[in-house]
Amino acid sequence: MLNRREFLTMAAALCTAFGVSNLPEPVAAALKQIDPRTIPKLLYLQGQSCSGCSISLLQAKEPSPLTLITRYCQLAFHTDLSATSGSQAMSLIERYLAGQAGPYILALEGAIPEKMPAACMIGDKSLASLLESAAKTMTAAIAIGACACDGGIPGAEGNLTGAIGLPEFFAQRHSKKPLIQIRGCSVHPDWVWQTVVHLVKIGMPALTEAGSPKLFFDRTIHETCPRYHDFQEEIFAAKLGDSGCLFKLGCLGPQTKADCSSRWWNGGQTWCINVNAPCIGCASPLFARQKDMPFYRMNKKKA
């Protein structure tokens, strides 16, 4: 049986993930102080990914990545940062998946090759089999990036491996565990880390219909675009490198829900449209989906 302290620790971790109200007082106090015993442990696995989301997570400004992984959560395992490897790493992963290392939140970056399990292996296990174990033992899951949410580029037309995202994979297996979807190719670091902070300090964030935190994904890029004025005044870029509204070059800001236009990227340095580059809709569930839907419209008349 669990002793009282172990029970509180686990209860706090569960409440943190679920956002349950009416917490017992000691647990509530523990949450406010970010008790290191109760921070969520992230088991971060990579599927058919490019690591771009992981690299983007290292671009966090405030809090810094180091503070995030020491104060707000614990990275139980991450391919790019973990010191351990080989059988030592594999037994760590498997102990978490067996439910023997305490409560944890699954973080997945990358798609799942549903029709070709051999197309993504971790050690001698297929990613798909590891995720099936996780569905039973995890507290909740965060799908990180276009690939983990919808299949992304590996799941685009021409998909040879049956690549799909985590929501579809878990739905097929009737998992009812909470799942937060954070789109983007790559994700913006704030979208993920501030969701983790939200889990720690407040609980489960409010989600859009697409399963993403409303805090970041409630409005289209176009609605809050600094060039919305150009759009209204019909000041359009006619060719690459022009300033003005990029709509006529194929900008997908009107179809893409994300807060890039107010948040900007790389510590607020800049963002796509600020360098006159049309939005390619990387935070949309339809990103890169179809071959006959090109990113840009400038060659339309010749196609």
Partner 1 sequence: MKIELGPLSRIEGHLNVKTTVTDNVVVDAQCVGEMFRGFEVILRGRDPLDAQQITQRICGVCPYAHAIASSYAQEIAYGITAPANGRILHNLIQGANHLFDYLLHFYQLSALDFVDITAIANYKGSDPELVQVRDWVKAELASKKAFPGAPFLPRLEGQYLKDDDLNIGALKHYIEAMEMQKKANRASAIFGGKFPHATGIFPGGCTQKPTIDHISAYQALIEEVRDFIQQKYIPDLLAVAHGFPDYWHIGQSRGGFMSFGLLPFTPASDSRRLFASGLVLDGQVQPVDFDLITEDIKYARYSSASGLKVNEGELTPAPEKNGAYTWIKAPRYNGQMVEVGPTARILVDYLQGNNPQVTTLVDRFAGMAGIRAEELNSVLGRHLCRAISAVVIADFLLAETERIDPGAPAALELEIPATGEGFGATEASRGALLHYIRLQNHKIEKYECVVPTTWNCSPRDDKGNPGAMESALIGTKVANPAVQIESVRIVHSFDPCLACAVH
Closest CA to 213 of 236, 190, 239, 235: 190
Strand order in the sheet with 179-182: 74-77, 41-46, 105-109, 140-144, 179-182
Catalytic residue among 15, 149, 198, 222: 222
Applying CB under 8 A, among 13, 15, 31, 69 the residue interacting with partner 1 is 69
Cα–Cα distance measured from residue 252 to residue 221, given in angstroms and rounded to the nearest whole number:
8
Provide CB contacts within 8 A for 42, sequence distance 6+: 73, 74, 75, 76, 78, 104, 105, 106, 107, 142, 196
Site for partner 1 in 168-197 (CB under 8 A): 185-186
Cα–Cα distance measured from residue 155 to residue 152, given in angstroms and rounded to the nearest whole number:
5
Q: Is 185 a catalytic residue?
A: yes
Cα–Cα distance measured from residue 107 to residue 272, given in angstroms and rounded to the nearest whole number:
27
| Residue 149 DSSP symbol | H
Catalytic residue among 15, 73, 149, 272: 272
Cα–Cα distance measured from residue 50 to residue 47, given in angstroms and rounded to the nearest whole number:
9
Residue 206 is a binding residue for partner 1 (CB under 8 A): no
- Residue 19 or 123 with smaller CB distance to partner 1: 123
Applying CB under 8 A, among 18, 19, 26, 51 the residue interacting with partner 1 is 51
Applying CB under 8 A, among 63, 74, 207, 230 the residue interacting with partner 1 is 74
Closest CA to 52 of 150, 195, 216, 188: 188
Q: Is 279 a catalytic residue?
A: yes
Site for partner 1 in 263-302 (CB under 8 A): 265-267, 269-280, 282, 288, 291, 294-296, 298-299, 302
Q: Is 15 a catalytic residue?
A: no
Tell me the closest approach of the beta carbon of residue 13 to partner 1, in angstroms: 12
Cα–Cα distance measured from residue 98 to residue 258, given in angstroms and rounded to the nearest whole number:
36
Interaction mask 78-107, partner 1, x per CB under 8 A: xxxxxxxxxxxxx-x--xx---xxx-----
Cα–Cα distance measured from residue 273 to residue 264, given in angstroms and rounded to the nearest whole number:
10
Using the rule CB under 8 A, give the single segment among 26-34, 114-122, 209-217, 220-228 that binds partner 1.
114-122
Tell me the closest approach of the beta carbon of residue 242 to partner 1, in angstroms: 8
Site for partner 1 in 1-30 (CB under 8 A): none
Tell me the closest approach of the beta carbon of residue 56 to partner 1, in angstroms: 6
* Residues marked as catalytic: 50, 53, 147, 185, 222, 225, 245, 251, 260, 272, 279, 282
